Amino acid sequence: MQTPHQTPEAQRSVADAPPDNWVDRYAPEAWRPWLRLSRADRPIGTWLLLLPCWWGVGLAMIADRPTWRDLWIVIACALGAILMRGAGCTWNDITDRDIDARVSRTRSRPIPSGQVSVWGAVAWLVAQSLAGLVILLTLGKAAILLGVASLALVAIYPFAKRFTWWPQVFLGLAFNWGVLLAWAAHMGGIGLAPVIAYLAGIAWTVFYDTIYAHQDAEDDALIGVKSTARLFGTDSRRWLLRFGAGAVVCLVLAVLAARPHGAALWLALAGVVGFAGHLAWQLKRFDMNDSAGCLRLFRANRDAGLVVALFLALAGLV
């Protein structure tokens, strides 16, 4: 009898990973299960965690002034996003291992497929978290405190779908915390602009993760997992419009709260306009019954958030 580590399922890539992902093509074979556990083969989650951090840096540069330290904050946020997204995904897969084994899209993940043991995953979680802590310690007291506080949100999120129809809100609370942390790394404290941008990010997360959750709506219904995709059902397009509009309005208010002047104001608002246009494009193409299409739209949100980050950076530099 073959052990789980010897089965064909344990050797192949995860079902929803891009077919040409770098892990399956270039990473040493022994590393692949661990990198898959961290979702390194699916980098969109790292982008969605990182981009609000870069929003925070851009807003801080607009409100204050750019410094050379901002370059390190940008790099540290990128490294931290890779590590902490990996740690968060590892924690999520540990807690969801029984559910993942019952869902067609997720049963090929490293733990349910037998590529990684639960205790091995715990050790990997600790290693990633400690590496993330080393980076966090370079960002100043306010950012350190915020980083430690974020752990409560990360710990709670995997359980949200068991007790609420709004797990996407809990994901938004965790995934957009970086806008507060990055602002604090520059400014030494919290301000109104990043708080409003945080609300924008939460609304955006509900938007894109509802689209993502429609891939699993049928399986979720069978096993009793809750989501906004199931809650909204056939009315999802209208709800997506509401949350998308809320994200846009909050971003406009966040920009204004940072008090840009002249060209900086128009550059920052241009980024929000580009973001709004991208969400409208997604809404036009959204089909809740097209799982592959939902995944493509979900991944496209990297570009939506990147438009905001780039224009905020330009606004902060003028």
The tokens for 100 are 């993942």
- Asked if residues 51 and 308 have their Cβ atoms less than 8 Å apart, the reply is yes
Classify 191 as helix, strand or coil: coil
Percent of the chain past pLDDT 90, that is, above it, reads: 75
Per-residue model confidence as pLDDT tens digits over 286-305: 999 999 999 999 999 999 99
CA–CA dist 248, 68 (Å, integer): 30
Per-residue model confidence as pLDDT tens digits over 84-102: 999 999 998 998 888 777 7
Q: How long is the chain?
A: 318
Task: Please state the rounded mean pLDDT for residues 141-166.
Answer: 93
CA–CA dist 187, 199 (Å, integer): 19
Residue 7 pLDDT > 70: no
Residue 145 pLDDT > 80: yes
C-alpha dihedral, 244 to 249 to 254 to 256, nearest 10° = 150
Residue 1 pLDDT > 80: no
Q: How confident is the model at residue 199 (pLDDT cuts 50, 70, 90)?
A: very high
Per-residue model confidence as pLDDT tens digits over 122-139: 999 999 999 999 999 999
224 or 38: which carries more pLDDT confidence?
Answer: 38
Distances (CA, A) of 22 to 26, 28, 50, 221, 244: 6, 11, 19, 33, 32
Q: What is the pLDDT of residue 12?
A: 64
pLDDT, mean over the chain: 91
For the residues of 212-270, what is the DSSP string, one character each?
HHTTSHHHHHHHT---HHHHHGGGHHHHHHHHHHHHHHHHHHHHHHT---THHHHHHHH
- Asked if residues 106 and 100 have their Cβ atoms less than 8 Å apart, the reply is yes
Residue 183 pLDDT > 90: yes
Residue 318 pLDDT > 60: yes
Percent of the chain past pLDDT 70, that is, above it, reads: 96
21 or 46: which carries more pLDDT confidence?
Answer: 46
Task: Please state the rounded mean pLDDT for residues 182-210.
Answer: 98
Count CA atoms within 13 Å of residue 19 on its CB side. Answer: 0
Per-residue model confidence as pLDDT tens digits over 201-243: 999 999 999 999 998 888 778 778 899 999 999 999 999 999 9
Q: What is the pLDDT of residue 10?
A: 43
Task: Please state the rounded mean pLDDT for residues 156-166.
Answer: 91
How many CB atoms neighbour CB 233 within 10 A? 12
Task: Please state the rounded mean pLDDT for residues 244-252.
Answer: 98
